Structure 1
Amino acid sequence: MSLSTAIGAISALNECANFFQWAKSAVSSLHSRWTGSQEKDIQDRLLQLESVLQRLRDTLPAMYNLIDRAEWRSHEHYVAELFPKLKDTVYDADDLLDEFSWHEMKVQLEGNGTQSAIIEFFHNVVQGSFNKLTDVQGRLDHLSSQLEKFGLREVRQQFDKAVRPETSSLPNEPKTFGRDKELKRVMAFLSVPTGSKRKRTNIPVNASTSTIPINQLSDATGILTIPVLPIVGIGGVGKTTLAQHICNQKQVKSHFELIVWICVSDDFDVKRLTKEFIQSCRDKKSTSDNLDSLQRTLSNHVNNKRLLIILDDMWDDALKENMQCWKRFCAPLLSAQEGSMMLVTTRCPKVAEGVCTVEPITLEGLKEDVFWNFFKLCAFGSESSYNDPELERIGRTILPKLKGSPLAAKTLGRMLRMDLNASHWMSILESELWELRQEVTDILPALRLNYMYLPLYLKRCFSFCAIYPKDYKFEMEDLAEIWVAEGFVEPHGDNFIQKIGQQYFQDLVTRSFFQKVSGGYVIHDLLHDMAQKVSEHECFILRNKKEFDRVPLNVRHIYVHPSSDFDNSDLLSLCKHRKLRTLICKKQSGNKKSSVVDNWCSKFSRIRVLSCASINELPDSIGNLKHLRYLKISKGRPLTIPPTFSLLYNLQILDVKTCKIDSLPGDFSNLRHLQRFVSQGFSYCPMSVFRIDAAEQVQVVTLLKNLNQFRGDLEISNVDMLSKDHAAEAGLKNKKYLYKLTLEWSGGLSESQIMQHSAIEVLQVLQPPTTLRSLLLENYPGVSLPRWFQAQMINLNDIPSVSNDSIGMFESVPIERLGNLGFLEELEVRGCPNIRSQSFH
């Protein structure tokens, strides 16, 4: 659960404090509707409700902290049972608070004096939600008490030794498979002689990395820095196995005086590592706890010795304190002899980049032919071809899902060897990898360590991706919008929240959770299996008819494949999952107004993200979706939008770009949180244009009134059709995220003084925000410019992107200074021959 959800919930509660002040006053103002006892009862209920909300506000931050701690112990049976219940209850609390926020917006938009809004609030919220809130608070208290009893109060967020056993230099496997190329490169890096004569080999340095040639690393007193070669790859790919076999090569043993193996794991403690290093040198524990004493002792032990140091399983914390921890650890090693080397194994590309002196070795999955031999060894106990032909056929079919991972082959091999019957092997073939019971050291628990080491907000973002099928191509901007809609992205100052979501995406890319491919990004299949495992109670993918019976009752996110195996009755069966927050349905539900969508909108009252393959008409029940933030319809023309659509006060994204919209409801401007609206007729969003044409000019400009979260470019054509009052309702100066404004007159108007004066008045009230970056006026018929062009702020010569040709069209107007547009970078004026006055109005 992301911290942003807690922040959002608490923010909603703070807003509700003001709301309750209004509610108490409203009760008194409507005293004629109730008897004295009824009014007192309502006032008492309001006080109780406010108290419960306050308590929930105080409780929620601790619950999110508890979720984060419990996740580190969720491999333990007793925690595993309570953990999904805790998350589900926190979701319920968040949904209730979000509903309060919706009612507050409704009252604000309809006016505090609207009796219908006040009465609806009392009936639906005060009387309807109090028991829900007390129930949720009681469940939170009970679950947190149970989890605290299991010792989660003091749990440290680090890997359990049972999950990540300590490694040593002795190989667990008798030989390596398919790593000859990597082995040769490491041996060359170590400058180990391969024949009777010793030869020094300089490693070719990749010019794109910050590296130091080995022959420049020493002087008379020692080495300037120890050469480091990282071996990087996902968990279970064979990094440690490769390093172990290198340590045990005869040439390596004879070449280095001392080989030191240290299992770092997720605790890069310089004192601990230094003590272990000293113990490796003299086979005796150090009794000192003083870092200076420890480092001097280590420096003396390695002085003038040729060392091979292996740091196995390093994580991001090795880079903490701006690399100072790493530098402190390496400092005593500078007394070692020239030719000393270090190998580092890590799952983290950031670690490899931070410590390397030569280009890292990246381990991928084993090639198919080699992998098959290894898989046979795991499944049959032998690489022999004299195995059951039917089992071999099934084994070859299982193989692709393991993606060349040696640990995945061991995991499945152990399961298969338990029962050498075709029925058992077929059951494993037909199961998803994440559904199979695994030991704590198998492939998915091993990969889960990558997930556990993520910050809490990135955990929520990545685990949500389990809703998408394997090989799904992600687009950063689209996924970031959905993360924002789900409440996974934490606001930060005035930064555009979608941009923060995009930075989250990039963080996951740098940590190798997403891989760049042609046309987007994908998640490695094994990491996808891991994501499905950690979110198995929250996310579900429906691929065929039989899977509808396996959907968890309290599931929060569902993806429906475009399969022909199921029909509308199957889609209707989803209505029992009342807590659903996300529904992405690629299955088309017909060309007419769909009863499926109508039922969904009636039942899925908590949904935040809804994406449908095809709809021609949104049902009236769409207004029930108080929590909806993201709505996407892939096909449907023309699309009819009902008046109840205006109740979607939380809507941020409306993406119907393949649909032509018949009309917009009159209260469309109530969607004050709308940030992106794309349709065949209209579109306003970052990197796009909201273009308003003549046919719907007055209506749509009026509808812009409350859309102050509007972001990107706005183009209004046929401005001459607007009256001053209609133009004023657009409220452009309140849209602080507006990037570019284009105002276009038809160019065919009479040049009468009345028309010219009207144009000046209309342009005056179309004043843009002071943060505007680009402005274009085209065919403006006025003879002068409005007051907001007057300037005391900016010299035109300082504007970086001004078109001088366009500015020349002002002729005698002194525009060397612009008005309140302090952030303007581009100004273009064309087709405006009437401007002749030097005065501003």
Structure 2
Amino acid sequence: MDILVSAIVGDLVSRSASFVIGKYFQQQPGIDMILQRLQRVVQRIDTVVEEAEGRRITNQGMLRQLKTLRQGMYRGRYILDALRFQAALEDEEEVSHSLTAVLLSESSSLAKRLRFSGAAGGGSSSNRDAAALLMSGANNKIREELQRMVSSLEDTMDAGMKEFLLFLESYPRVLRQPHAAYLFLENCMFGRQTEREQVLDFLLRPGATPMLAILPIVGPLGAAKTTLVEHVCRDDSVRGRFSTILFLPEGSLEDEGVTDLRGGSNFKVRHQNHATQSHNRFLIIVETAKDMNEGAWRSLKSCVAHMAPCGGSKIIVTGRSDRIVDLGTTEALSLGRVPREAYWYLFKSLAFGSANPDEDRSMAAMAMEIASEHRQCLLSAHMVAGLLRDNFSPRFWRAILGLGA
């Protein structure tokens, strides 16, 4: 029973929930009360997060607390959307086949039983009956898990929130033009706000010694490592600090050789600042997919030290291998994929634009299913959601969903 509950609750939080969950929960006594509490606490968190994102926070402790608040907001909104939107697909036969049998993990024997019952019954209604049967025995456990999650979010809001808001007032506001939320998300480093501030802190921190400072950033393919760095490098404070920002793409340090920062063909110049206050400081971004040639790496550092003898230059190394961690002079930054709950928040905002998803819940449910097919790839979120927004019709969205099936 515990395995069943864990599988159902875990999938509810981390995957696109089936409409069976929505219909089942709506019929349970007391569940509306818990969902109303969830709605209220998510709105409270949303208000605090919106205020915090309008400030330039530099304190690492507050940034970690803000990250926790964001995760809670995304998680709560994900569950509320799953319960609201997936129930709208009960009569959508084109989509409902792809939404059954996702209540349980793929490796679970119970998931195999669910798929087998659907095959034996020859239709999605048999799958629904099997899912409801499996869930009915875990009713109390599921309610307890949902209750525990809501209580956890409420505790997060109550613990130290007065102090957080008080300290928040001491940080300057970030000036930005008012516009629709999806336009802001298109131009911000979504899901990496805390990491962005950490990279900024590394770049703007005065060097205590002339030693070359190096920050490794490690993460899997699609974790937006290079995108994060490029976004930070567009910040005016970074461009004002370094005289030259250079980008060294993958493969440039695989062979040993002398690296010339004054115009080597391997480098791409991202920015040059001839103002005297930048003091000939270099920022080098090295992108690597394989192991670097040690001779080429030594040559690069030697060239930076020679051309910027006063110090202050810095290197950021991005890659998928943990071996680059040893290259750093400071703690490495590790990036994972954006959580599914946060990814859905971004995808929904980009796909619907200024439209309200609640006005067409069947389209919202289709968007939720399309989003689940892209494995939290941020590039796909912008491309696919933008395509959906530009072709805002149920017929087109069903066609896109069919292509991914």
The TM-score bracket by the shorter chain reads 0.3 to 0.5
Query: Normalising by structure 2, what TM-score?
Result: 0.44
Larger Rg: 1
| Bigger share in strand | 1
Query: Normalising by structure 1, what TM-score?
Result: 0.23
| Bigger share in helix | 2
